[in-house]
Amino acid sequence: MHVMILGAAGMIGRKLVEKIAREPEALGGAISRLTLVDAFQPPVPEPLQSVSTGLTIDLAEAGIAEKLIGTRPDLIFHLAAIVSGEAEADFDKGYAVNLDGTRALFDAIRRQGLKSAYVPRVIFASSIAVFGTPFPEVIPDEFFTTPLTSYGTQKAIVELLLADYSRRGIFDGIGIRLPTICVRPGMPNKAASGFFSNILREPLAGRQAVLPVNDGVRHWFASPRSAVGFFVHAATLDTAKVGPRRNLTMPGLSALVSEEIEALRRVAGDRAVALIRREPDPVIERIVAGWPTQFDAGRASSLGFKAETSFDEILRVHIEDELGGRIA
């Protein structure tokens, strides 16, 4: 099986590659070829080096999709994107990469299939940014997508294309609407959602973190390990069971900031909690107020997608996967 990962140098891309390195049969069969694509140099773990090719390219470049698909990968993970803030600030770049780059990829698959039979599985990283406020308390699977960012618009458009191309048998697609990933590893970043991870990751490492919203803010989470699990599960899923509605809101944990903090207290004590500095930021509070807080992800759950059910579990995953099982 030839597997291609677009966005292989990103957080989830790297973890997906590591998962395949640890469990070579995770995607349902032996991997004869692994193509790792990103705008940045994608790391290749030792056990996969003999079958892997790393490509540092810009997906928006003319002819790139044709070249990539010319190698006829059987399974394509499309995780590459201009992120929300940048797609909002740079209209042309966001549409060029997130929409046109992806459509070029889909059309290259179509043209490849016109030459000779070719129907790869395509798994696309979508986002709960396809939804825009106001919301019901629990957002059902059949809720409409009215994004309030260009990023969310681009994701929602690709979802529609993915469903239409799948319906026409051009490829066999699944769209994965990711919850907010928590605990994000790495350095604190300036994303408005960063604090959800910062207030856990930093205190666990003995460092201070800023909480810019009040404890009563509710949001929708899954761990990086669950996110990788979603993509792996989508790779082997019987898509006949999915039918024509190919875009799935992933299961997640709906939790309050206060529940994050209490989970941190149980795991690392009052000393860790004391490292959270409350500095209310009206701008971030306003942004966060427009985000979804809870989904009924019944369809994805019934198809076997799984996420954490408590913040204790999310913290345990972080400690196991990022901290070698130990807290500072």
Among 21, 163, 210, 273, the residue binding its own copies under the rule CB under 8 A is: 163
Among 169, 244, 282, 325, the residue binding its own copies under the rule CB under 8 A is: 244
Residue 9 phi/psi, 5-degree rounding, is -95, -5
Residue 241 interacts with its own copies (CB under 8 A)?
no
Residues in region 34-93 near its own copies by CB under 8 A: 91
Shortest spacing between CB 227 and its own copies, in angstroms: 23
Peptide bond before residue 134 is cis, with ω within 30 degrees of 0: yes
Residue 145 interacts with its own copies (CB under 8 A)?
yes
Please work out the total of residues on this chain that contact its own copies, with binding judged by CB under 8 A.
22
Tokens (6 digits) for 138: 């629990």
CB 161 within 8 A of CB 201: no
Total Cβ atoms within 10 A of residue 243 = 10
Ordered alpha helix ranges (H), 7-137 = 11-22, 64-69, 84-89, 91-94, 102-115
Peptide bond before residue 183 is cis, with ω within 30 degrees of 0: yes
Total Cβ atoms within 10 A of residue 58 = 12
Residue 283 interacts with its own copies (CB under 8 A)?
no
Q: Which of 95, 118, 151, 165 is catalytic?
A: 151
Residues in region 86-125 near its own copies by CB under 8 A: 91, 110
Nearest-10 crossing angle of helices 257-273, 311-322: 50
Among 67, 93, 168, 277, the residue binding its own copies under the rule CB under 8 A is: 168
CB 162 within 8 A of CB 173: yes
Q: Which stretch binds its own copies (CB under 8 A): 145-153, 194-202, 215-223, 276-284?
A: 145-153
Give 256 or 287: the residue with its C-beta nearer to its own copies. 287
Among 93, 245, 277, 286, the residue binding its own copies under the rule CB under 8 A is: 245
If DSSP codes are grouped into helix, strand and coil, which group holds residue 262?
helix
Spatial distance between the Cα atoms of 220 and 179, rounded to a whole number of angstroms: 6
Spatial distance between the Cα atoms of 6 and 237, rounded to a whole number of angstroms: 20
Spatial distance between the Cα atoms of 60 and 63, rounded to a whole number of angstroms: 9
Q: Residue 222 carries which side chain, given as an amino acid letter?
A: A
Give 129 or 314: the residue with its C-beta nearer to its own copies. 129
Shortest spacing between CB 153 and its own copies, in angstroms: 4
Is-catalytic flag, 151? yes
Residue 147 interacts with its own copies (CB under 8 A)?
yes
Spatial distance between the Cα atoms of 37 and 186, rounded to a whole number of angstroms: 21
Tokens (6 digits) for 148: 């309030």
Among 19, 55, 118, 143, the residue binding its own copies under the rule CB under 8 A is: 143
Among 89, 138, 160, 274, the residue binding its own copies under the rule CB under 8 A is: 160
Shortest spacing between CB 31 and its own copies, in angstroms: 32
Give 84 or 153: the residue with its C-beta nearer to its own copies. 153
CB 131 within 8 A of CB 115: no
Residue 197 interacts with its own copies (CB under 8 A)?
no
User: What letter would DSSP give residue 275?
Assistant: T
Shortest spacing between CB 297 and its own copies, in angstroms: 14
Q: Which stretch binds its own copies (CB under 8 A): 15-23, 42-50, 142-150, 303-311?
A: 142-150
Give 113 or 212: the residue with its C-beta nearer to its own copies. 113
The residues annotated with a catalytic role in the active site are 151
Contact residues: its own copies, CB under 8 A? 91, 110, 132, 142-148, 150, 153, 156-157, 160-161, 163-164, 167-168, 244-245
